[in-house]
Amino acid sequence: MKAKNNSSKTGKAVLVLEDGSTFSGHGFGAPKKVSGEIVFSTSMVGYPESLTDPSYKGQILTFTYPLIGNYGVPSYELENGVPRYFESESIKARGLVIHELCKNPFHWASTKTLDEWLKDEDVPGIYGIDTRKLTKKLRVKGVMLGILQVCEEEEEPNLEKLLKEVKTIQDPNATNLVKEVTIKEPVRYEVGANKVAVIIDCGIKHGILRTLLQQGMNVIRVPYDFSAEEILEYKPDGVIISNGPGNPKQCTKTIESVRELVEEDIPIMGICLGTQILALALGGDTYKLKYGHRSQNQSVIDLETKRCYITTQNHGYVTNRDSLKGTGLEVWFMNANDKTVEGVKHKNKPTFAFQWHPEASPGPYDTKFLFDKFLKLAGA
């Protein structure tokens, strides 16, 4: 992980939203100012995994659970070349918003406090605000752009200036966030298996890598803009389109590659953003949700068996159900709360995708069988 060794002491902090709302509190982590999309997660555990999830790139993350930092931050150790406890090599959220900060964590795996970790990673945080009020506002009005400023000790935030500035900040979803989190060159992960999965890295969580390696597949991780021809040169037994941040329509090269790969009849599995990219590749459409699905307790229903599963989710965009007509895709899973599309599969090809993380990291393992389905299609 990065080590900034930021020794500056933090003081007051303020969160300013584009609608003019302000939330004043105490700063922790790095004393700095950041802007981004303010989102909330109802997860009760898993802040190390959430903060390092590349799908939070461009966003300022709010936890609704009031006590954060209680079990500290674990060490950065590797398993099969992949971090054991983190979902990427660094914090990807631009800032953190919580109600109460635990300054004296207790856990056998803890090596530092949440405050120390954010300082090391040069990420600002605010605590002591009414996160319930903030969350209710985001649920009513939808996610909003905002600015988080953590001041140095004895410094005062300039609210008047921040309220003007928040009107002009750029929406991160208007940029190609996937380009910022994808790898630059292919990476191989070997476990001595005789089957190979190629992962199109749109901002992959390392939990996906860990699961595939544990289940006996070698993995080749390629940049999001690799062509279908470049991917097929690796002779993969299956292809995975990973999760990632932002608007899926920004991933034009990935969409083009997936369109060609589907025609090759190679087994394909999409996860989160991968679902939206698959739909777009085959002529479907996507749209932005009002406040997204970000939690470890999202209920999804298998429309074939009527069975309900509890899943870990982190996405702000979703596939348009009506747009799937003529694409060859059919709806497989549906969200039990808002009835949005949670999973699709192709009627004639070994291709399927879903809007959640079966590897959890953190969360329930209800749907790990989807990895088994992929491995079976890949002949593993």
Cα 25 to Cα 51: distance, rounded to the nearest angstrom: 20
- Residue ranges in 183-235 assigned as alpha helix (H): 206-214, 228-232
Nearest by Cα to 212 from 1, 370, 5: 370
Q: What is the DSSP string of 157-176?
A: --HHHHHHHTTSPPPGGGS-
Burial category of 240 from C-beta neighbours within 10 Å (exposed 0-12, middle 13-18, buried 19 and up):
buried
Give backbone dihedrals phi and psi of 192, rounded to 5 degrees, phi first. 75, 20
Secondary structure class of 332 (helix, strand, coil): strand
Cα 328 to Cα 340: distance, rounded to the nearest angstrom: 19
Tell me the β-bridge partners of 35.
Answer: 147
Indicate which residue of 37, 272, 342, 346 is catalytic: 272
Cα 364 to Cα 361: distance, rounded to the nearest angstrom: 8
**Helix-then-strand count for the chain, H and E:** 10, 21
Nearest by Cα to 121 from 177, 56, 195, 169: 56
272 is catalytic: yes
In total, the chain counts a number of residues equal to: 380
Nearest by Cα to 282 from 269, 263, 296: 263
357 is catalytic: yes
For residue 152, give both structure tokens. Answer: 């140095």
Indicate which residue of 99, 206, 293, 357 is catalytic: 357
Cα 343 to Cα 277: distance, rounded to the nearest angstrom: 12
- Kindly tell me the sign of the dihedral angle through the C-alpha atoms of 10, 161, 14, 178: negative
List active site positions: 272, 357, 359
